Chain A
Amino acid sequence: MLKLSRLFGGALAAAALLAASSVLAQKKEIVIGLQCDRTGPTQTVGVFLCPGYHDYIALVNSKGGVGGAQIRAMEIDHEYKVPSAVESYERHKKEGAVLISIYGTPQTQALTQRLTEDKIAGTSPGFGTAAAANGDRYPYIFPIAATYWSQAAGAVQFAKDKLGGSLKGKKIAYLFYDNPAGREPLPVLEALVKEEGFEMRTFAVPPPGVEMGAQVLDIVQRFRADFVIAHLFGRSPSVSIKELKRAGYPLSKVVSFVWGASEADITAAGGWAAAEGYYGIQFAGVGSDYPVLKEITEMYKKQGKPAPKEMASTVFYNRGVLIAAIHVEAIRNAVKAKGGTNITPHDVKLGFERIKGFTLGGLVPPLEINNVDHEGGGWVQVFQAKGGKWVKSTEWFKAYPTLLKRMLATHG
């Protein structure tokens, strides 16, 4: 039950908010179209990622916004449904959004052509197709974070380092969710097999991905893999941790792609003690040891509020902060180039292509986005589950850049 006093307080706050927003309306505001999924199949990500996004925008606004203009991130939840995503895109366009933060692979694909026609930049960090890194082919799609191809290259590079600097004659198992996203890294892995001379075997996990006992036994006892690269979604990463552990495989020889390496996966796998040693690739810094996160906590403290509980899930929350930060940086570049806040979506697109040397204290990799490379280099960092939290295991690195560039040119 909502208490009367709280209701009254809420109404007051709302009135204050309305008054505040009418003051803001006189100033120029810059609108970002933010798609979220807080209720659909990937809600476990959205409930942390989206608050992270909003908190960073609030932080920027509390410091006076960009070029004097406040930023409004207009969130629409599309439940991971394509028709809703199309509708929300058109709504954002009507509201004058200068860029669209897309969420979800099918949604990215459904909006690609429309974004190009309308000349509005859309970002697809951690999903969409790897080919979108090619700015010549997809001028208005920006992955802005390591694609599955870069993650695959990063995983192989990491395995190589862990196995003593050479993969010749080693056996690597690729355990993947049997959907297009799961199969996307295969061409890169196969090219790396030729280049590095290791033996790879693929193990598909059919959706919904909660049954993989047979695959894991195969990996551990028959194939006797030296290293396991896992690319799983939803519940399945936690299942893979449990099954590998049960089969007696050392988790310190397992590295997961970005969607299988969150705090939630560790909790679901039976806690930090059970998952000790497990590696995860990240495209955003993990942990709360970044200045920007302290600033957000400070901002809340000034308002007399505790830091949001979503911050505890540092993997997804930080990704939200990273996405927002890159968006704001692109807007900042656009405002700077234009010399004013009346920027168009096309200005923001050019703003993205000027992002360089923006690291936010290590939370963001040293991206270099330009008109050809919309991925920014494909930087990844590996973290390890150790002593109750994710511990940094490598610095930011990009793996096999020339091979990936060649493949983007031929496969894209």
Chain B
Amino acid sequence: MNVRGPGHRRRRVVRAYGVAAAFLVAATLVSALVGAADLNPLATVAALLDKIPFVHLPSSLSPLDRAVLFQIRLPRVVLGLMVGGLLAVAGAGYQGVFRNPLVDSGTLGASAGAGLGATLAIAYLSGSQGHLGAGAVPVAAFVGSLAGVAIAYLAGAAGGSGAATLLLAGVAVGLFLAGVQTFILQQSTQDLQQVYYWLLGSLSGATWQQAAEILPYAVVSVAVVLLHGRHLDVLSVGDDEARALGLDPTRVRLIVIAACALAAASAVAVSGLIGFVGIVVPHVARRLAGPGYRLVLPLSLLVGAGFLVLADTLARTVVSPAELPIGVVTALVGSPVFVWILRSTSAVRT
């Protein structure tokens, strides 16, 4: 194709990846350098590079600073990268499955299920055995999130195989689960604050162990979603035509929904509910690269990871030594930025 041929496409792809990767690296560095303990930037970068195999750099970081960097700050940065990437990829995947740009991992009953799971754990397990309760919350949220999606999927599939039916069933199941959660909270108001804090999301207390625990789920779910980018592009022309092109839309939907549910559940388990990322980041990716999911999905992974560590950096520094819930930051900072992005790139769309 002559005028805007493959060369044009390739340039656009390279540019989009370049912008996303630069954003990710910058966000990671900022997050690693900024915090309560004042780490020397150069020494910190040297200490980080020193960790790369075959690179040996002397760093003037004191043992205490080293501990702060590697045991407190870095696990939090890495967990933030993972959570952001997972939420953004799940959001993009759901938007492709439902052909609806306003959907994210919360829409299909995942958030409500996670919320209910966490509430149950906090209300009934932490009373007498506080230690057990704290450990049970991530597991309960993980299971609740997956269960919410599974119930929504089964309820929707019973009403037909279409995307719209599934979405409506998801909304209904989500409202139902949220109702149950409210009922339980009414019964045990002393847990309100703990649940409320969890609902707004936080990465405080992040450990390497948490990152290691969700890593297998994260890798599998993200890989499956990324491999289905082309299928989501085919789905975007409708079920009928997808079928006429030899694709089974019901099967693709099931696979992608399952993978997205797993991705979001892994994130929710370690961070609580963080809204906004799953809806907004895929749209930023579309602004960078157009609507094709083969690009939108990997770009969402990069941009989502960067966005969340930046938001977390703000969450732990703005009112330091206290912390803001990260959900508040993503909404307060993310919304204006998103509107600005929509405005400044509107020429691409219209």
Same complex:
no
B residues sitting closer than 8 Å to A (CB atoms) are none
A residues sitting closer than 8 Å to B (CB atoms) are none
